[in-house]
Structure 1
């Protein structure tokens, strides 16, 4: 029997075929999960084309900065899934490009607010709306983070602060939702060639460094994050919550 037979997964953050969220969607669907993908209006064509590759996948519009759209998206997902959700995947992050190009010291109030709102607060907003749909049977919520939350990665700037806030939110949500058997975790993926990563200066050079320094002497692939997401979605991870799981070929353990 497929690992996720009968499970229902609501996934935020698919943008194109390189998205980590898309790798996660494929991994979950391959093990029997029914999917609903949330999309931003400007990304509809790309997400719709991808969704067509997984039969039965539904789409809902959602801008995570708009409470009314979040309300409507979770209401619609609940309807599609028959009143419950088992898995919620948060792969949402954004900061204005200027905040990643300028020195961190020049971070603007507006840029800070945007990065924290979209990249961190959105997890809290999603979890709040998912809780009524999960509490009867429990579930798994997980988000994508990055080790810049703990170490300085030049040019990651305010996004690093947002990822630190995201990880702290994971722990507090894990504490509050645990009584309903809802687990909340994060995956800290190594550098991948995604749309978001290409906006960071020096990204290519850093990927080269990882392949030389990481214990496995290589970079990771999107599918490896997808496999970890599958584990967190399944009963195999039923005793794990509030954790950050690194999928980076071991780079995070190194001193340089």
Structure 2
């Protein structure tokens, strides 16, 4: 029998948005590294680096700082990542979401135009910008782009507020990018994990109640783990998902199926 090889062996990838050991981006990075990928990671700034650098060191990945709100920052980060990865990006993961706190805790109808635009730029449009920046570095046989969504994109989740419409736009972006980039054999996906105790989620009102409700209603009667989310991401990024594009994959213990 042929010797088993890690599915992502020989793949080079950029993973944006590692915040700490509990972040979804880190769960994805860990599992991609285990499956053989060479990675470059990003964190927001020097303050975040203190928590993320030991994680990056543990998997032998260079760590860059990138705040997508800064003009030119994303382009510079992608260029540097490609340089560190021998000029090739087989995949890129976008795990970035942000909205001004006062907008996040208010009603959608009270959202300011400025706050909405900021949330859209960071959480949605930066995914399109990431694709544009990565395009010169895609190998001839294709690449994969992955972003992170949430059930609030397709149904109104209490206290999720402004991020619901933003994530809905992000999932629509996935479909249009899949259509446009498909002729280049570039696949585009969203991963939609169930509620998890991440740093980003801690900014939501009553997130503990949301997690408790997920445990109660999900068919598996539990929350999913970072490793499970990471494995699903690694599958989408690898050769096993070569015939898939333009979809949102749920990793939520079946919660999305029961409404």
Structure 1, 148-157 or 183-192: larger mean CA deviation: 148-157
Confirm or deny: 8 A CA contact 1:116 1:162 kept in the other structure: yes
Confirm or deny: 8 A CA contact 2:89 2:139 kept in the other structure: no
Q: Which of 246, 249, 252 is equivalent to 1:245?
A: 249
Q: For this pair of structures, how many residues does the alignment match?
A: 254
Confirm or deny: 8 A CA contact 2:16 2:93 kept in the other structure: yes
Q: Which residue number in structure 1 is paired with residue 57 of structure 2?
A: 52
Structure 1, 214-223 or 66-75: larger mean CA deviation: 66-75
Matching of residue 165 in structure 1 with residue 155 in structure 2: no
Q: Tell me by how many angstroms 1:70 deviates.
A: 1.5
Q: Any residues of structure 2 matched to 1:199-238 within 5 Å, and which? A: 199-238=203-242
Q: Which residue number in structure 2 is paired with residue 99 of structure 1?
A: 103
In 1, distance between residues paired with 2:211 and 2:173? 28
In 2, distance between residues paired with 1:199 and 1:113? 19
Long gaps (5+) in structure 1: none
Q: Any residues of structure 2 matched to 1:15-164 within 5 Å, and which? A: 15-41=19-45, 42-55=47-60, 57-164=61-168
Q: Tell me by how many angstroms 1:61 deviates.
A: 2.2
Long gaps (5+) in structure 2: none
SS at match of 1:52: helix
Structure 1, 95-104 or 191-200: larger mean CA deviation: 95-104
In 2, distance between residues paired with 1:122 and 1:87? 16
Cα deviation, 1:26-61, whole Å, max 9, x if unaligned, reads 000001100101222131222212111112x11222
Question: Could you say what the CA RMSD is over the residues aligned between the two structures, in angstroms?
Answer: 1.1
Q: Tell me by how many angstroms 1:66 deviates.
A: 2.5
In 2, distance between residues paired with 1:10 and 1:74? 8
Q: Which residue number in structure 2 is paired with residue 5 of structure 1?
A: 9
**Normalising by the residue count of structure 2, what TM-score does the alignment of the two structures yield?**
0.95
In 2, distance between residues paired with 1:168 and 1:66? 24
**Normalising by the residue count of structure 1, what TM-score does the alignment of the two structures yield?**
0.96
Report runs of 4+ in structure 1 exceeding 3 Å deviation: none
Confirm or deny: 8 A CA contact 1:135 1:182 kept in the other structure: no
Confirm or deny: 8 A CA contact 2:90 2:139 kept in the other structure: no
Cα deviation, 1:86-144, whole Å, max 9, x if unaligned, reads 01000000011111212222111111011101000000000111112115231111100
In 2, distance between residues paired with 1:136 and 1:74? 18
Structure 1, 167-176 or 57-66: larger mean CA deviation: 57-66
Structure 1, 185-194 or 207-216: larger mean CA deviation: 207-216
